[in-house]
């Protein structure tokens, strides 16, 4: 067994541990809220000492940043694949938005950390922020394909999408009162924007 093979094995094990830590962190956040996550409690939940986690994540900031990047790393391929069999660009946009809203409402804690971004002292690193921008780019591309090329109109559309997610998570958690309106809301907005002058 060469030294290189050993290094691969230990690296793989390290990745597996990190994966488990992130999964447990998501679970705790889902249960108690994003702001309630403490490294101590996470460690207790994992059966180790708080200090041992520092070996993997040197600070709480680093842990939150890893979670942020992890969330977008999961969301991005889902958005990219959404509506691949759609009959029209608008249908594909609707499918993409439905996928996004499904993710947000199924995982309110992720929505809070990744998109709402009101977690106490947290700001994503530049690298993690880039992953978020790349993911947002998918949505903007689908919007453009559906005819929303004006940046102002894209901002409006983003607002509607984010707003449906926000209302859903805040005022009907676990339900679909707001998100189920997304297809009609989007089609109506697109139609309205196309016929409403910019005064």
Partner DNA sequence: GTCTATATCCAGATAGAC
Partner DNA sequence: GTCTATCTGGATATAGAC
Residues that bind a copy of itself (CB under 8 A): 33-36, 112, 115-121, 152, 155-156, 158-167, 170, 177-178, 181, 183-185, 187-193, 195-196, 198-199
Chain residues 104-143 in contact with DNA, contact rule CB under 7 A: none
* Residue 48: contacted member of DNA, a copy of itself, none (CB under 5 to 8 Å, by partner type): DNA
* Residue 59: contacted member of DNA, a copy of itself, none (CB under 5 to 8 Å, by partner type): DNA
Q: How many residues bind DNA (CB under 7 A)?
A: 22
Output 120 or 174, the one with its CB closest to DNA: 120
Output 17 or 154, the one with its CB closest to a copy of itself: 154
* Residue 149: contacted member of a copy of itself, DNA, none (CB under 5 to 8 Å, by partner type): none
Half-sphere exposure of residue 76: CA atoms within 13 angstroms, side-chain side? 15
20-32 residues labelled b (16+ CB within 10 A) or e (exposed): ebbebbbebbeee
* Residue 123: contacted member of a copy of itself, DNA, none (CB under 5 to 8 Å, by partner type): none
Q: Site for DNA (CB under 7 A): which residue of 6, 8, 10, 81?
A: 10
- Judged by CB under 7 A, the stretch of 58-66, 80-88, 152-160, 187-195 that binds DNA is 58-66
Please report the beta strands in 72-159, taking only residues with DSSP state E, as ranges in sequence order: none
**In this structure, which long-range contacts are made by residues 71-77, counting pairs with CB atoms below 8 Å and at least 24 apart in sequence?**
71/107, 71/110, 71/113, 71/114, 72/114, 72/128, 72/131, 72/132, 72/134, 72/135, 73/131, 75/100, 75/103, 75/114, 75/135, 76/131, 76/134, 76/135, 76/138
Let me know: does 119 contact 130? Beta carbons within 8 Å: no
What is the rounded CA–CA span in Å between residue 40 and residue 51?
8
Output 10 or 130, the one with its CB closest to a copy of itself: 130
The CB-of-38 to a copy of itself minimum distance in angstroms stands at 12
Q: Site for DNA (CB under 7 A): which residue of 49, 117, 177, 184?
A: 49
What is the rounded CA–CA span in Å between residue 102 and residue 158?
16
Sign (positive/negative) of CA torsion 92, 94, 100, 102?
A: negative
Which positions touch DNA (CB under 7 A)? 10, 13-14, 17, 37-41, 47-52, 54-56, 58-61
């Amino acid at each position: 067994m060469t030294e290189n093979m050993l290094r691969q094995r230990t690296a793989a094990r390290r990745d597996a541990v990190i994966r488990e830590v992130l999964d447990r962190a998501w679970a705790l956040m889902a249960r108690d809220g994003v702001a309630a996550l403490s490294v101590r409690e996470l460690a207790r939940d994992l059966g180790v000492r708080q200090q041992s986690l520092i070996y993997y994540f040197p600070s709480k900031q680093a842990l939150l940043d890893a979670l942020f990047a992890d969330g977008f790393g999961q969301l991005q391929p889902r958005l990219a694949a959404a509506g691949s069999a759609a009959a029209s660009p608008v249908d594909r946009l609707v499918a993409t938005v439905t996928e996004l809203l499904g993710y947000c409402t199924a995982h309110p804690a992720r929505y809070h950390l990744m998109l709402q971004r009101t977690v106490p002292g947290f700001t994503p690193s530049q690298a993690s922020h880039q992953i978020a921008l790349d993911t947002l780019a998918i949505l903007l591309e689908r919007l453009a394909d559906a005819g929303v090329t004006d940046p102002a109109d894209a901002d409006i559309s983003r607002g509607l999408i984010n707003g449906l997610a926000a209302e859903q998570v805040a005022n009907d958690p676990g339900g679909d009162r707001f998100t189920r309106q997304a297809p009609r809301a989007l089609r109506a907005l697109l139609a309205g924007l196309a016929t409403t002058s910019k005064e």
